[in-house]
Structure 1
Amino acid sequence: MCAIAPQCYPEEFFTYSGFGGKFPAELKYAGYDSIVIVGKADKPVYLSIHDGDVEIKDASNLWGLDTFETQKVLTDSHPRASVLTIGPAGENLSRIAIIINETSGAAGQGGYGAVMGSKNLKAIVTRGTGTLKIARPDDFMELIRQRKAAGEWMAGAGTTRLRYPLRPETIREEMKEKYLKKFSGCYACPYQCHGVYDIPGIGKGAQVCVDSWYGFHDLDSAKGMWEGNLLSQKLGINNYELNALMMFLYRGMETGVVKKEDTGLSSIPMIDQRSEPEHGGEKAHHEFLEELLGGIAEGTSPFAQGTARAAEQFGQSAVDLYNSIFAAWGNMSHHMRGVAEALHWATDTRDPFNSCHDYMVFGNNTEVADWFGVPGGYLAGESEGK
């Protein structure tokens, strides 16, 4: 997805965001390579694409629904279709609003949920029954086999097995043993790196990466972490940005740079010393999440426009604090690990490493090493060989 991105800071830049799931495949099977949306509807609408039949339909009954509810309503009336939708955060033009497909295929970066909301476009529904012809099927299947072997650490285990690094071991075991239902992946992908979880009383959804970092690191509760993840997905809020928000909020309150009365929050558990379960932490966490995420989705919270812009409202000391944590033009980011990464950052308008972890994080990428003539690969944290 490409457009002027409202999340970009300090100015709105042209950038991009990608999403997985089933929607891209359905669009291709319907016979389209891309969609261009121009202008604004007079009332809430959704775009329906079924092969060659394209219609703009009324979405007044969908406006105000969360992303899960919207997909349920639209798939009931459009069987076997894939739905791309925004939640209340996008409707209310939050700069950190996402567009989501299924429960984990999100265009998370850029604030593109607000772009759809500004056009009164609630959703795009696509069903394709066509086929694709592979130009070189043998070469294609060989490439799939190579990629599957290269990514075997993810296939069947998911990024979930690498996550929760700052969580107690009890959370990792609880999520795996009690709530993990299966692994899934984007359409026709051999990796199956999405962990599908279902926690009674909270709900079912898929987890890939950043959602596992969410919340309070001293909250020893899988339920508390999962509740934050699922609620942000339903409301259509960028989970990656929420990590920056949590760190900034904690450090800001701790240092006195941010005052509680300026946040619009009645309670902040990690500051109020109520985050341990034995001290009512789960209840406090639940109330905090509903207040914070609800305020972002409604557009009433200062954080609805992103943490960097919220820091501006709190004063220069808050801006300096935020920049000391995340200096990436207002973005929650992967930090640089070498000279080559600096070139990426210098030429991009967002965090360039969401989609190339292999290069930046894991290192020893022999394919990249061969391309650039570096024998033996390289180390992710070093500049040598890059």
Structure 2
Amino acid sequence: MKYMKGLLLFVTAGLFLAACTEYRLLERISLVTLIGYDIEDDQIDATTVVRQINPEFESSVEIHSETAKTSKGTRVKADLKTAKTLMAGQLRVVLFGDELAEEGIGEAIHTLAMNSEITTSIYLGVVEGTSKNLLESEYPNITDIGQHVFNLMDHNIKQQQMISSTLHEVVRDIYSPLRDFTLPVVKKEGEYIDMSGIALFQGGTMVGMLPASDSFYVLLIRQNINDGTLQLILPADLADSTKNKPKHPPKNFPIAIDAINSKRKIKVMDHSKNEIDLTITLDCRLLEIHSSLAIGDQKVTEKIEEAMNKKIESEITRIIKYSQEVNSDIFGFGEHFHAQVRDAKLTEEKWHELYPKMKVNVKIETEIIRSGVVE
């Protein structure tokens, strides 16, 4: 009897919930998969990638562009031109033209975060140029521009070749007074779309940009990683460490590594002098190197590790100095400073006064764990 009562309650609840469900037939709605925002004559220009599905369940991609004072205004204009309801539940990417990013996108991100239709796992990015030009251009090998851009960003982020920029992560950084946010940059390159860089922000405004080749270093500073590939150019004097010196040694030694594991440690050394230590340990696998270097020789391997340490330290120091020049703490050093210094009483304004003058001592400790299939 008790079992029957429980079953009856379950069925009744199911019927009640089903009755409350709002059904949306695919052929009656338009699925928005990507939105690009630009600024044009002090107005917002929104370019929307829409997937249409007909009663035979065949889909097609349409691109609409509208201009208004607000992003909601562009949505209203788009609704007036379509016979189907625009649904943002399948939105995967939001892009901002670089001119709009330089004007400031803090309010636009706030509006996105308030929209209950949109999941916080969508990716945000910046376009070199206008998002309208990128989205409305024709690409022979791309049938669905919205899905393509999402796949491009998702693949590189998961492979740890590019910083992650979900709405959730960006909003978290925006509301942290001691940390700035960063977004990946995409660019139209002929018939293709490339990941071209990393945009640095302060207070919602883009203040600088780093090339995509710096993304591995940025990731090393920001977080512990266990993937990603890096190419380094090491000095020619490495040939001196090998027993069988080549008759015609190369001018330098390009190598390729992938990260097996990295760990970072940030320690405030002297808060009165605004000085911190950044130590990164990197276990890696050597994927490619000149055949003249006998990697089976421990002394040669140690020389390679030493050269790698110097090169990575130099590159990371350069990137941190650039972030200080544009005053964008995308690495969260301010949060570590606040956590480690008692009674720091840091505010956003005070930290942005300290950050450009902060001294960062970078130390890299590299260890080659494996060197390909032949040890």
TM normalised by structure 1 equals 0.25
Give the structure with the higher percent helix: 1
TM normalised by structure 2 equals 0.25
Which is higher, the Rg of structure 1 or of structure 2?
A: 2
